[in-house]
Structure 1
Amino acid sequence: MVAALAGSLRGFIRFFRDVMGEDAYRKYQAHHAASGCAGPVLTEREFWKDKMDRQDLVPGGRCC
């Protein structure tokens, strides 16, 4: 019972983090490595700045 509850809680936390975009940089790194991009990998700081700049250009894609 406790193990099932703990597993459910871990699943919820992972889902919440995915919804909030916390794993976006990790996904970017995996995509960059898998796709064979010629350019260098952005640092995490550069990645988030680029992501926020792109969201500011197209604000209709977000809720707030």
Structure 2
Amino acid sequence: MGRVAAIARQIGWYWGSLMGDNHYRRYVEHHRQTHPGEPIMSEREYWRMRHDATEANPNTRCC
């Protein structure tokens, strides 16, 4: 059963990456490492910034 659980976790991680579930978490980790002491955007601000950037340059979208 351990192997099945490991495969399920890998599929979950892959699916979450495709859907953007971990983008904000990766942003926070990166920001803390590269800009310690600076304020971090809230998750809402982060997604708004990403949405606005895509609207400004629609060529960055995949579809």
Measure the CA separation in 2 of the matches of 1:63 and 1:9.
27
Corresponding residue number in structure 2 for 1:54:
53
In structure 2, the partner of 1:20 is: 19
- Taking structure 2 as the reference length, the TM-score comes to 0.85
Question: Identity of counterpart residues, as a percentage?
Answer: 30
**Alpha carbon RMSD of aligned pairs, Å?**
1.5
Query: CA 1:34 to 1:11, structure 2 compared with 1: closer, same or farther past 3 Å?
Result: same
Q: Which moved more, 1:29-38 or 1:18-27?
A: 29-38
Q: Does 1:40 pair with 2:44?
A: no
Q: Distance in 1 between matches of 2:41 and 2:25?
A: 11
Matched positions, count: 63
Larger RCO (CA within 8 A; separation ≥ 6): 1
Amino acid at match of 1:18: S
